[in-house]
Amino acid sequence: MADHIDSCYLLIVKFSLNEPPTCHPYFVDLLDCLDFATFDSGPGQMMLKEREFYPAMGNGFHQQRNVTLAEKIEALFRLLENGEQRLFRNRASALERFRRLIEEYRQGPDHLVNQESLHLIP
């Protein structure tokens, strides 16, 4: 296994439509501020938690420049693991919901398909 990972740089220009309009540029390596990231295993996508990111940046948050590669990998794995667990819970919940619907259907009256009103057969 190689002992390196690619960086994930973000260049964000956030505009505020105040009077007068303002813009705030941010250039960050997401791997240096993983506290503001989340991972969604459904699409397999890492995302920035913007509601937490911008206030922290406005309050003078500085990227953790001395985080080791091993610490970044551990943090990335925790994000992956958390995303997988949430996906599993969500899928289990959806499956249970469908189970209940199918059971309600099974408990109902006989289900006959009657397509006579469609006049498919002359």
46-101 pLDDT tens trace = 999 999 999 988 887 766 667 888 899 999 999 999 999 999 999 999 999 999 99
- Percent pLDDT > 70 in the chain is 95
How much is the pTM?
Answer: 0.70
Element (H, E) at 86: helix 69-107
Average pLDDT of the residues of the chain? 89
Sequence-distant (6+) residues with CB within 8 A of 81 are none
Please indicate, yes or no, if residue 118 is contained in any of the structural domains: no
- Percent pLDDT > 90 in the chain is 52
Q: What is d(CA 55, CA 57) in angstroms, rounded to the nearest whole number?
A: 5
Tokens of 37: 């990231």
Sequence-distant (6+) residues with CB within 8 A of 39 are 45, 46, 47, 79, 80, 82, 83
Please indicate, yes or no, if residue 2 is contained in any of the structural domains: no
The answer to whether 41 and 80 are in contact (CB under 8 A) is: yes
What's the number of domains the chain is made of?
A: 1
User: CB-based burial of residue 33 (10 Å sphere; 0-12 exposed, 13-18 middle, 19+ buried)?
Assistant: buried
Residue 10's identity, in one-letter code, is: L
Tokens of 52: 């937490």
Q: Please report the pLDDT score of residue 114 as a whole number.
A: 85
Mean pLDDT confidence for 17-21: 91
Q: Please report the pLDDT score of residue 58 as a whole number.
A: 82
Classified as helix, coil or strand, 97 is helix
Q: Please report the pLDDT score of residue 64 as a whole number.
A: 61
Please indicate, yes or no, if residue 31 is contained in any of the structural domains: yes
Please indicate, yes or no, if residue 101 is contained in any of the structural domains: yes
Please indicate, yes or no, if residue 78 is contained in any of the structural domains: yes
Please indicate, yes or no, if residue 94 is contained in any of the structural domains: yes
**What's the domain range around 61?**
9-108
